[in-house]
Amino acid sequence: MKRFIDLAEHSPEEVAALLELAARLERHPEPTALRGKVMGMLFFNPSLRTVASFQAAMTRLGGGSFVITPGQGTWKLETRDGIVMDGEAAEHIREAVPVLASYADVLGIRAFAGGIDLQADIEERKFMEMAGYCPAPLVNMESAVNHPCQALADWKTMDDIGVPKAGGRFVLSWANHPNPLPLAVPSAAVHMAAMRGMDVTVLRPEGYELPEAIMGRARAAAAASGGSLRETDDRAEAMEGAHVVYAKSWQSTRYYGRPADDRAQRAALEHWMVDESWFAKARQDAVFMHCLPVRRNVVVADEILDGPRSRVLPQARNRMTVQMAILHRLLAGGTE
């Protein structure tokens, strides 16, 4: 394995092997496996779970890490090509990325969507440009429309509690939020569930359709795995027999890059906050998932987060667990 930037680059067998390795490392820690190894992390956007769990993962495997946040103790970075750099940014990513990669055995990059040009975001232009400057193994710590570490953690979380693959019903639901957010987590989650062989429903109000490029990829993954994928705005229909409700807010694809229009549209969508009433037609033991951070009583009610359905803490914990497996595979050279 040379990089981990998109779950779709990996076969189901590779994913299974990563999850086995994660489980093995949970049972049998290897505190010297990555002795003397270094992960570099480059964050263009805020983080809590990612920055903490990767540092913890490297320490648990005997290595170490460094964290760079441009503009915070370090230079602002320019990303545009061919520009005369007489403004605020003192350094270009054409230098910064390969330099940081040269200090590290693996580089992680977080670069959220620009949120203006949907096509550019879908094509991952920003992330893939930086990937092109990085000779070292690379980990996607969340890009414009992907978050493969989260997806793998979510997969493991369902495995851990026995949510079925074939016949498992996975509902990805849009939820309300004060701000227009990226498509990374919903895109990654829908692909993951489809690849896992589940029956996947995207539940969202009109105007929040996931782009066809993303749905098409997930549909292909479902076809290969024996799962299915559909989209609806009918909550009752979507929730029927659900095993998992995965909530997430994302910005309007109808008004992409037009936050004022998006906000106006969602003013009528405050009832898209998950509470116990949503689960009326779901399986009795249906669980609630969210990648965190989550805004309480906007995205989801306290009663869900503090009640027995919530799996948000195991999901977060599994970030570290699966990332240990990813780092081990990338750096320890093991073949499971």
Stretch of residues binding a copy of itself (CB under 8 A), selected from 3-11, 68-76, 138-146, 147-155: 68-76
Which are the contacts of 199, defined by CB distance < 8 A and separation ≥ 6? 167, 168, 169, 170, 227, 228
Q: Which member of 221, 244, 304, 316 binds a copy of itself (CB under 8 A)?
A: 316
Contact flag: residue 308 with a copy of itself (CB under 8 A): no
Contact flag: residue 297 with a copy of itself (CB under 8 A): yes
Contact flag: residue 306 with a copy of itself (CB under 8 A): yes
Q: Give the shortest CB-109-to-a copy of itself separation in angstroms.
A: 14
Q: Which member of 9, 20, 83, 280 binds a copy of itself (CB under 8 A)?
A: 83
Residues 177-236 that bind a copy of itself (CB under 8 A): 178
Length in residues, the chain: 336
Contact flag: residue 132 with a copy of itself (CB under 8 A): no
Q: Give the shortest CB-318-to-a copy of itself separation in angstroms.
A: 9
Q: Is omega for the bond preceding 293 within 30 degrees of 0, making it cis?
A: yes
Q: Which member of 122, 213, 220, 292 binds a copy of itself (CB under 8 A)?
A: 292
Count CB-CB contacts under 10 A for residue 81.
9
Cα(104)–Cα(109) distance, rounded to whole angstroms?
12
The phi-psi region of residue 253 (left if phi > 0; otherwise alpha if psi is between -120 and 50; otherwise beta) is alpha
Stretch of residues binding a copy of itself (CB under 8 A), selected from 11-19, 73-81, 158-166, 193-201: 73-81
Contacts with a copy of itself by CB under 8 A: the residue count is: 70
Q: Which member of 65, 150, 157, 249 binds a copy of itself (CB under 8 A)?
A: 65
Contact flag: residue 307 with a copy of itself (CB under 8 A): no
Contact flag: residue 93 with a copy of itself (CB under 8 A): no
In degrees to the nearest 10, what's the CA dihedral of 20, 291, 210, 42?
A: -80
Count CB-CB contacts under 10 A for residue 73.
8
Q: Which member of 27, 28, 72, 268 binds a copy of itself (CB under 8 A)?
A: 72
Nearer Cβ to a copy of itself, position 133 or 159?
A: 133
- Cα angle value 124/130/132 (rounded, 5°): 95
Taking alpha carbons only, the member of 113, 116, 137, 106 closest to residue 127 is: 113
Q: Give the shortest CB-55-to-a copy of itself separation in angstroms.
A: 4
Residues 242-281 that bind a copy of itself (CB under 8 A): none
Taking alpha carbons only, the member of 23, 21, 53, 42 closest to residue 316 is: 53
Q: Using alpha carbons only, how large is the chain's radius of gyration in Å?
A: 20
Pairing of strands 64-68, 77-78: unpaired
Q: Where are the beta strands (DSSP E) in the chain?
A: 3-4, 38-43, 64-68, 77-78, 91-92, 106-110, 138-140, 169-174, 199-203, 228-232, 244-248, 287-289
Q: Give the shortest CB-44-to-a copy of itself separation in angstroms.
A: 11
Contact flag: residue 136 with a copy of itself (CB under 8 A): no
Pairing of strands 77-78, 91-92: parallel
Contact flag: residue 115 with a copy of itself (CB under 8 A): no
Residue written as tokens 């990767």? Answer: 54
Contact flag: residue 82 with a copy of itself (CB under 8 A): yes
Taking alpha carbons only, the member of 312, 14, 273 closest to residue 157 is: 312
Nearer Cβ to a copy of itself, position 234 or 271?
A: 271
Task: Kindly list the residues in this chain that would bind a copy of itself in the complex (CB under 8 A).
Answer: 29-32, 35-38, 40, 43, 46-49, 51-53, 55-56, 58-69, 72-75, 78, 82-87, 90-92, 94-96, 98-100, 102-104, 178, 292-298, 302, 305-306, 312-313, 316-317, 320
